[in-house]
Amino acid sequence: MNRDNPNQEINHKSSPYTRLYEIIRQIPHGKVATYGQIARLTGNFTPRMVGYALAALPEGTDIPWQRVINRQGRISPRSHSGYAELQRHILESEGVRFNTDDQTDLSIFGWRPA
């Protein structure tokens, strides 16, 4: 995937992806949001698009991609292995706890925007 990489659109401030990334940046430290939640906040996105946009992010981006998980409170595995483990590690270092079923309690750690 290397044609019109969405993160290049970050520099073009009128891109719909920009809005998506801006919202993700607003997720506070120690909290998590779901794909569907982000999608609804943008207004014109679908959860699949959110996942797709995040998959296109480069390493070392300032976007807190690790704070976006699925509706079940679990980390969605990507095609490239190893990242789910990394993501969980980062979240735990931020204070997010996972139970024995590898899922977080969204009623506690879920982000609730004003």
Residue 51 binds to DNA (criterion: CB under 7 A): yes
- Binder to DNA among 48, 89, 97, 112 (CB under 7 A)? 48
Report the residue from 18, 22, 47, 94 that binds DNA according to the rule CB under 7 A: 47
The Cα–Cα gap between 114 and 111 comes to 10
Report the distance separating Cα 7 and Cα 9, nearest Å.
5
Minimum CB distance to DNA smaller for 51 or for 114: 51
Three-state secondary structure call for residue 34? strand
Is residue 94 within 8 A of residue 30, CB to CB? The reply is yes
Run of H or E including 106: helix 106-109
First to last CA, the chain: 36
Residue 33: what are its φ and ψ, rounded to 5°?
-130, 160
| Residue 29 Cβ vs DNA, minimum distance, rounded to whole Å | 17
Among 2, 81, 99, 100, binds DNA (CB under 7 A): 2
89 sits near DNA (criterion: CB under 7 A): no
- Member of 10, 20, 41, 54 binding DNA (CB under 7 A): 54
| Interacting residues toward DNA by CB under 7 A | 1-6, 34-36, 39, 44, 46-52, 54-55, 57, 65-66, 68, 70-72, 75-79, 83, 87
